[in-house]
Amino acid sequence: MNFSAYLKNDAYIDGKWTAAASDKSFAVFNPADGSKIASVADCGKADTERAIAAADKAFASWSALTATARAEKLMAWHALMLAHENELANILTAEMGKPLVEAVGEIRYGASYLEWYAEEAKRVYGDVIPHSSGDVRTLVVKQPIGVCAAITPWNFPNAMLMRKVAAALAAGCTMVAKPAEDTPLSALAIAALAEQAGIPPGVLNILPTSKAAEVGQALTSSPIVRKLSFTGSTEVGRLLLEQCAPTIKKTSLELGGNAPFIIFDDADIDAAMEGLIASKFRNAGQTCVCANRIFVHRSVHPEVTQKLIDRVQRMKVGPGDTAENDIGPLINVAAVEKVEKLVAGAMRAGAQVLIGGDRHAAGGLFFQPTVLDNISNDMEIARSEIFGPVATLIPFDSEAEVIALANDTPYGLAAYFYSRDIGRVWRVGEALEYGMVGINQGIISSAAAPFGGVKQSGLGREGSKYGLEDYLEMKYLCLGGIAE
């Protein structure tokens, strides 16, 4: 595989590639075959403190640049990411497992945040508010928050970091990022390109580590770090929110989901199947916006079931670097065991396996694309994020019933539904308690749109003009002494 010069082993702190202070390293494995790809610096508290100090020092000059000057650097970085998309995709597939075509898609999607925020940061408008006294003017300006921390997951090792870093840097903030232990190489490759694009030392720092809690503690307890942006599980998000409380840090949390995917009786069934396959099986089902509970109107249930089985039967499972494969391995043994346990529990509770249901013959971390019928909303598999290629079908009879079922979860990230009835489209769109709703659409992510959840799926938004606000503080200037 062609990894090129962007496969890095060191941490990136203050513009330098450096070993961990402890001189320790940890191994990164390829989930497709268990082979070791690299040994990377295992950062700890001392490295984190050094990175925070570097980001603090860099903030003064980076935030003082004009938005246009920062945008030029972000666009240079954007061009480099696209020019090297194949090398980046190879690294991503090697450490994470997704098919190469999806990895290239992720690199382009990740890079699109650089373009979007390079443009958007030029439009950070303030405000002038009329005052009741003629001698006073009320002004509002927006300023970058300061040093930001990012903690990112393994399922989109490029895009989840780009989403944060592009908005932060465009706004004038600096960043210390901790990628997931399974996938640090994509983050280091991103930093290598940032360096090449002329992003100054200290503006972006990357700390690979196998000691997430130690680095997380150092980031969240630091009074210099003004904001934390986290993508990952609700459980860890809750813990980090607690850790941010003593220093009253701003937080953006993009947490777990439990997406309903509703197919009404008036839906365009073929369009719904396209959307469902993309939403459910992309990334082997390992996305927080994956269809997790598929509600099918009883009258179209036989047709949907048959079409779904036909599609799933044709899916090819195997290593992501082999062109014809649609479904790669799951990320690690714990992920496979979790999916296995959820499927077994569902079967004990009365679910019926229509296809799949087991580990794949390819061995290792591969799981068969699976369709389960007779699922009910109270089964464990319908209460948890499956994070695997398992489609669970739940029949329903009425609109009111399915809305109640869809909302009956502590999560509120993404929801999807298919209907051609304009009144229903509006009614259901409003009634679903989710931050994002795909209507006749299974793939909803875009740099131009606000990504984020309600309820226990998170705080804040990423992407769009709203995502920039998460990295800005509002300051009110009261200007007196106007009158002569």
DSSP assignment of 235-257 equals: HHHHHHHHHHTTTT-EEEEE---
Active site (annotated) includes residue 115: no
Place of tokens 């200037």: 477
Nearer to ligand ADP, 232 or 452 (CB): 232
Nearer to ligand ADP, 214 or 266 (CB): 214
Binding of residue 241 to ligand ADP (CB under 6 A): no
Closest to 184 measured CA to CA, from 154, 214, 211 = 154
Active site (annotated) includes residue 254: yes
Cα angle at 257 between 254 and 261, to 5 degrees?
135
Q: Least distance to ligand ADP from the beta carbon of 141, Å?
A: 33
206's tokens: 């990357």
Binding of residue 388 to ligand ADP (CB under 6 A): no
Residue 207 is given by DSSP the state -
Stretch that binds ligand ADP, among 146-154, 164-172, 194-202, 424-432 (CB under 6 A): 146-154
Q: Least distance to ligand ADP from the beta carbon of 232, Å?
A: 3
11's tokens: 């941490």
Q: How many CB atoms lie within 10 A of CB 337?
A: 12
Binding of residue 239 to ligand ADP (CB under 6 A): yes
Nearer to ligand ADP, 144 or 157 (CB): 157
Q: Least distance to ligand ADP from the beta carbon of 45, Å?
A: 12
Nearer to ligand ADP, 178 or 282 (CB): 178
Nearer to ligand ADP, 178 or 280 (CB): 178
Place of tokens 């942006």: 229
Q: Least distance to ligand ADP from the beta carbon of 136, Å?
A: 46
24's tokens: 């320790």
Q: How many CB atoms lie within 10 A of CB 234?
A: 21
Stretch that binds ligand ADP, among 15-23, 27-35, 175-183, 442-450 (CB under 6 A): 175-183
* Among 233, 374, 384, 440, interactor with ligand ADP by CB under 6 A: 233
What is the phi/psi pair of residue 74, to 5°? -65, -35
Residue 387 is given by DSSP the state -
- Considering the candidates 254, 385, 399, 462, report the single residue annotated as catalytic: 254
CA distance 415 to 275: 12
Binding of residue 403 to ligand ADP (CB under 6 A): no
Find all residues with CB under 8 Å of 174, minimum gap 6, and list them.
55, 56, 58, 59, 62, 63, 146, 147, 148, 168, 202, 203, 204
> Amino acid identity, residue 413?
L
Q: Write each residue from 208 to 227 as x if it is in contact with ligand ADP (CB under 6 A), else as -, in one continuous string.
A: ----xx--x-----------
- Considering the candidates 148, 173, 288, 290, report the single residue annotated as catalytic: 288
CB 416 within 8 A of CB 442: yes
Binding of residue 153 to ligand ADP (CB under 6 A): yes
> Amino acid identity, residue 219?
L
Catalytic site positions: 254, 288
The contact set with ligand ADP (CB under 6 A) reads 151-153, 178, 180-181, 212-213, 216, 232-233, 236, 239-240
